[in-house]
Amino acid sequence: MRTTRISFLHHSFVRAVTLVAFVVGIPSVRSARAQSSMPAAPGLAPQTQSDWPPAVKDNMVFRHALFDQLEGRTTGSENELRCDGQGWIGTDMNRLWIKSEGFAGANGVSDGDHEALYDRPIPHTRYFDAQAGIRADVDSNPTRVWAALGVEGLAPYFFNIEPTLYIRDSGHVAGRINGSWDLFVTQRWVMQPQAELNFYSKDDPSRQTGSGLSDIDAGIRLRYEVTRKINPYLGWAYDGKYGNSALYTRQSGEATGNSSFVFGFRVWY
Amino acid sequence: MFSRRRFVQGMASAGALAAFGGKNRLALGEIAQRKASELSGSHFELTLDTLPVNFTGRDAVATGINGSSPGPTLRWREGDTVTIAVTNRLKMPSSIHWHGMRIPTEMDGVPGLSFRGIAPGETFVYRFPVLQSGTYWYHSHSQFQEQTGLLGSIVIEPREPYPVEFDREYVVLLSDWADADPESIFSNLKQESDYYNYHRHTVANFLSESKAKGAGPTLKERTAWARMNMSPNDIADVSGAVYTYLLNGHAPRSNWTELFRPGERVRLRFINGSSMTFFDVRIPGLPLTVIQADGNDVEPVEVDEFRMGVAETYDVIVQPHDETAYTIFAQAEDRTGFARGTLTPRLGLTATVPPMDPRPKRTMMDMGMDMSSMKGMDMSDMKGMDMAGMQGMQMGEPGMPESHANGTAAMPSRPNGNGSMPGMSMSGGVGMTPFPQPGRQTAPAVPATTAASQDVKPEPSSPVKIHTGPQVATKPMMVMSRLNEPGDGFQNNGRRVLTYADLRARYRGVDRRPPTREIELHLTGNMERFIWGFNGQKFSSAEPIELKLGERVRVVLINDTMMEHPIHLHGLWSELENGHGPFNPYKHTILVKPSERVSYLVSADTPGRWAYHCHLVFHMHAGMFRTVVVS
């Protein structure tokens, strides 16, 4: 499952890197100009030399990779593996953002959703970034590729919220909203309710997605922050299909609503 | 004069010190050796190299100077010209900045502004005249090397006798040490800004707080903060979760110890050489007489405790009469740890270490909300600013008593605002040579009468409009002068705590001209994104601040953030306008409290490219940095 994803992502990755490089390039040219326009003070102050380093490097590239859900799910009769992660690389103002999620179970890989997005803080907002790029549904079902446009950030009361709109050929439109909230029970025990909702404008029977609200994946997880970056957790998750999605799911003989016990690790680095 | 032998001795003892670092007990010989890690004279050789250390019980690697970290204390004499050859044996470029020293810009040691930096294997020779006295310090200005221990203290003996006598003196250099790589600390902060905060709001402390003050008020307060995505527990960005706090390079358990004889007057030269930590300093059982701040003598003021912003220095006199030991207790502002040492009449005697005080919390006042007049909620931000500005102006008035007393327009008032420099033309080139540090002998460089005749309002700063956005998360509705406040966490602790208003210079300020213009700068940031800057801009996207050589300006700092920022201007003094007029104190680092408006005067008397920045090292590298060009 990992292998296909990575090989597919290769193309969009290269494109997104090019995009980011282009956008990053503009501010850096501007700052270089700002420095060279420093007034000279002949005989008074030494000239800054072009090969001198900047006094501080406040445009450093950082990276972040978070696997929010790296877990086993069991309904008692059925077992699944779930992976949901995102990561970014870039400066404060320009980032390449990768998101990936999917289920792996007895019936193969489903809900395989992978995105490569250019990310930039939205001017005049404090905690929200705009994201644009592509989404690819790659799993055991037919592949779909979408253009993606979304927002990710922190709403008041520390709510993480992440609505995204997707468009693909022949007028298909999809929407997704992700939300989560961290409730610190103690300094290291953290309860996280989380929900993801998917919407589609048209039926896509071969991927078992119907128009309207298609599915909800929600859960509540109690994690322990052994360190900030390694958090084992236990929890409960609900995964349900609605509308025509439910119909397609029933037709293939699967349950339309699963309530499962989950356990796994939340890790980042 | 420098003696080679003494230099070698210094190196050897510093090495020995490092080896003894982890021990609890001290032998007499060790104390003697530690004293030898002071170098004096006028010629110095410093070698920067990696240094194996063990401050925490785990082996780690520091950047040391002559085989020790902190490096040797450099003892200079006012009036000497010192030469310091710094050899870099690190694998990366390095530098040394002489913090608070008024020296030529190319000697200031800031890579990118003064010079290229010192490349690996290279030796750079600093040479400059020492035209001031007092307690200062030095540190690397390259990347995060001050965090890894590249720092040391400077003591400059005055030419004139000391105005306050003492029998012995010790440097007390406080710092914060992390076994972790500072790059990783910075990266963690960028990814999760409260990474090191283990004092967040939780269900557990909600319950205990509710018990104390009721569930309703607790919930109300917490939701008020949460609605803004802010936390009142945001005291320090980096905490004892990763830091071990050091006193002269000693972790608390290795207890730095020095001797006194009962009845002696002991001068302690406190230096906050930490990267991110504010220290609250006291010596239980002893009153502290503060006699110097940032290297400049102040009128003695007796307190029980004082807060040190990063990079500030305070000299205090203590006079222990009893045959008993005392603990020097320096707790981090966020109470996640402390540095400690012992003053004792004889070795083996120690004093109890007090428990740490309750952890401070930010208040709505820190957020710039005046809770007492909550009707202020509906007033616009700008109105709030204006009010604060007026308040500040009133504050500043006692700062210029002469100009108001004699201030008739003896001269035709000239239009200001065209960038003309009355100060310069009036005083015939005053400011073309750097002003001396105020002292017993210094006369005002501009006669008071001349100064008074220019009773002209300084040209106001071009208006600064701050908008919230990715780089500016908070904008207080109301800012005010907070010079009379000791700071968060000190309210009603029963001790006399030093405030900025207490600092009155011992000697009259030298440049007596009123400022010709004002420069307003907002300290801004977005804690969540860990972006910091001035006026909503990071260093890389901002133009330098330009000063004309010889001009005198008022800098107005408005802290739009919820944290304290120690703002350090290189190369020029910052004369804090705290109401003492000609006796306003000269400082090199000004601590600005949340939602505070503070102003100070600067004489641009030394040409150069000067660094101007928040001295919290990770704020500086997140953009809170400007170049000040004097030309």
Q: How many C-beta atoms lie closer than 10 Å to residue A49's C-beta?
A: 10
Nearest of B367, B47, B302 to residue B164 by alpha carbon: B302
Interface test with B, best of A38, A58, A269 (most B CBs within 10 A): A58
Q: What is the pLDDT of residues A102-148, one digit of tens each?
A: 999 888 898 899 999 999 999 999 999 999 999 999 999 999 999 99
How far away is chain A from the Cα of B519, in angstroms, using its nearest Cα? 18
- Cα–Cα distance for residue pair B537/B560, rounded to 1 Å: 13
Contact (CB<8Å) B631/A53: no
Task: Flag whether residue A228 sits within 8 Å of chain B, measured between CB atoms.
Answer: yes
Q: How many CA atoms lie within 13 A of B183 on its CB side?
A: 7
Contact (CB<8Å) A46/B195: no
Contact (CB<8Å) A39/B546: yes
pLDDT score of B445: 76
Label each residue of B537-604 as H, E or C.
Answer: ECHHHCCCEEECCCCEEEEEEEECCCCCEEEEECCCCEEECCCCHHHCCEECEEEECCCEEEEEEEEC
pLDDT score of B503: 98
How far away is chain A from the Cα of B430, in angstroms, using its nearest Cα? 16
Nearest of B184, B175, B212 to residue B361 by alpha carbon: B212
Residue B363 in contact with residue B280, Cβ under 8 Å?
Answer: no
How far away is chain A from the Cα of B518, in angstroms, using its nearest Cα? 20
Residue B374 DSSP class? G
Partner-chain residue, chosen from A55, A93, A188, that has the shortest CB–CB distance to B611? A55
Interface test with A, best of B197, B220, B228, B540 (most A CBs within 10 A): B540
Contact (CB<8Å) A56/B113: no
Contact (CB<8Å) B112/A122: no
Partner-chain residue, chosen from B111, B223, B549, that has the shortest CB–CB distance to A55? B111
How far away is chain B from the Cα of A121, in angstroms, using its nearest Cα? 6
For chain A positions 164-183, those within 8 Å of chain B (CB to CB) are: 183
- Cα–Cα distance for residue pair A50/A35, rounded to 1 Å: 9
Interface test with A, best of B115, B189, B208, B229 (most A CBs within 10 A): B229
Interface test with B, best of A60, A64, A126, A190 (most B CBs within 10 A): A126
Partner-chain residue, chosen from A59, A126, A185, that has the shortest CB–CB distance to B470? A126
- Cα–Cα distance for residue pair A83/A80, rounded to 1 Å: 10
- Cα–Cα distance for residue pair A23/A94, rounded to 1 Å: 7
pLDDT score of B19: 37
- Cα–Cα distance for residue pair B356/B334, rounded to 1 Å: 10
- Show Cβ contacts of residue B242 under 8 Å, excluding neighbours closer than 6 positions: B178, B179, B180, B185, B196
Six-digit token string for B538 = 């990071």
- Which residues of chain A are within 8 Å of residue B625 when distances are taken between CB atoms? 55-56, 58
Partner-chain residue, chosen from B117, B191, B607, that has the shortest CB–CB distance to A53? B117
Six-digit token string for B103 = 């020296």
With the CA atoms of B48, B52, B56 and B58 taken in that order, what torsion angle do they form, in degrees rounded to the nearest 10? Answer: 150
Contact (CB<8Å) A46/B106: yes
- Which residues of chain A are within 8 Å of residue B526 when distances are taken between CB atoms? 126
Interface test with B, best of A49, A56, A61 (most B CBs within 10 A): A56
How far away is chain A from the Cα of B140, in angstroms, using its nearest Cα? 12
Partner-chain residue, chosen from A49, A157, A184, that has the shortest CB–CB distance to B203? A184
Six-digit token string for B54 = 């063990």
B177 forms beta bridges with B244
How far away is chain B from the Cα of A171, in angstroms, using its nearest Cα? 34
Task: Flag whether residue A126 sits within 8 Å of chain B, measured between CB atoms.
Answer: yes
Six-digit token string for B359 = 């952890």
- Which residues of chain A are within 8 Å of residue B229 when distances are taken between CB atoms? 126-127, 154, 156-158
pLDDT score of A75: 92
Contact (CB<8Å) A51/B116: yes
For chain A positions 6-45, those within 8 Å of chain B (CB to CB) are: 27, 30-31, 34, 37-41, 44-45
- Strand locations in B333-377, DSSP E? 338-344
Answer positive or negative: Cα dihedral of A255, A258, A261, A264: positive
> How far is the CA of B620 from the CAs of A56, A121, B173, B239, B555, in angstroms?
7, 21, 21, 17, 19
Contact (CB<8Å) A125/B470: yes
Cis peptide before A39 (omega within 30 of 0): no
Partner-chain residue, chosen from A39, A41, A54, that has the shortest CB–CB distance to B540? A54
pLDDT score of B12: 34
- Cα–Cα distance for residue pair B389/B382, rounded to 1 Å: 10
For chain A positions 148-167, those within 8 Å of chain B (CB to CB) are: 154, 156-158
B39 forms beta bridges with B74
Residue B25 DSSP class? -
Region of residue B308 (phi > 0: left; psi between -120 and 50: alpha; otherwise: beta)? beta
Got the DSSP string for A175-217? Answer: EEEEEEE-EESSSSEEEEEEEEEEEESS-BGGGTB-SEEEEEE
Which residues in chain B come in under a pLDDT of 50? 1-36, 373-431
> How far is the CA of B248 from the CAs of A29, B257, B276, in angstroms?
44, 10, 17
Contact (CB<8Å) A62/B228: no
Q: What is the average pLDDT value for chain A, to the nearest integer?
A: 86
In this prediction the pTM is: 0.86
Task: Flag whether residue A87 sits within 8 Å of chain B, measured between CB atoms.
Answer: no
Contact (CB<8Å) B608/A45: yes
- Cα–Cα distance for residue pair B612/B631, rounded to 1 Å: 16
- Which residues of chain A are within 8 Å of residue B141 when distances are taken between CB atoms? 55
Phi, psi of B515 (to 5 degrees): -70, 150
- Which residues of chain B are within 8 Å of residue A46 when distances are taken between CB atoms? 105-106, 114-115, 608-609
pLDDT score of B462: 85
Q: How many CA atoms lie within 13 A of A84 on its CB side?
A: 18
Contact (CB<8Å) B190/A62: yes
- Cα–Cα distance for residue pair B546/B628, rounded to 1 Å: 6
How far away is chain B from the Cα of A135, in angstroms, using its nearest Cα? 24
Pairing state between β A62-74 and B608-614? unpaired
Partner-chain residue, chosen from A38, A58, A268, that has the shortest CB–CB distance to B622? A58
Task: Flag whether residue A51 sits within 8 Å of chain B, measured between CB atoms.
Answer: yes
> How far is the CA of B15 from the CAs of B9, B36, B41, B58, B65, in angstroms?
10, 11, 21, 18, 10
The distance from CA A26 to its chain's CA centroid, rounded to whole angstroms, is 26
pLDDT score of B414: 31
pLDDT score of B432: 61
How far away is chain B from the Cα of A17, in angstroms, using its nearest Cα? 21
Helix (H) or strand (E) holding B62: strand B60-65
Residue A122 in contact with residue A145, Cβ under 8 Å?
Answer: no
pLDDT score of B7: 37
How far away is chain A from the Cα of B539, in angstroms, using its nearest Cα? 7
Contact (CB<8Å) B114/A154: no
Got the DSSP string for B380-429? Answer: -HHHHHHHHHHHHHHHHGGG-HHHHHS----SPPPPPSS---HHHHHHTS
Six-digit token string for B532 = 């910091």
Six-digit token string for A71 = 């877990």
Q: What is the pLDDT of residues A45-103, one digit of tens each?
A: 445 677 899 999 999 999 999 999 999 999 998 899 999 999 999 999 999 999 999 99
The average pLDDT across A155-169 equals: 96
Nearest of A31, A60, A96 to residue B622 by alpha carbon: A60
- Which residues of chain B are within 8 Å of residue A158 when distances are taken between CB atoms? 226, 229
Partner-chain residue, chosen from B93, B113, B202, that has the shortest CB–CB distance to A55? B113
Pairing state between β B168-178 and B266-272? parallel
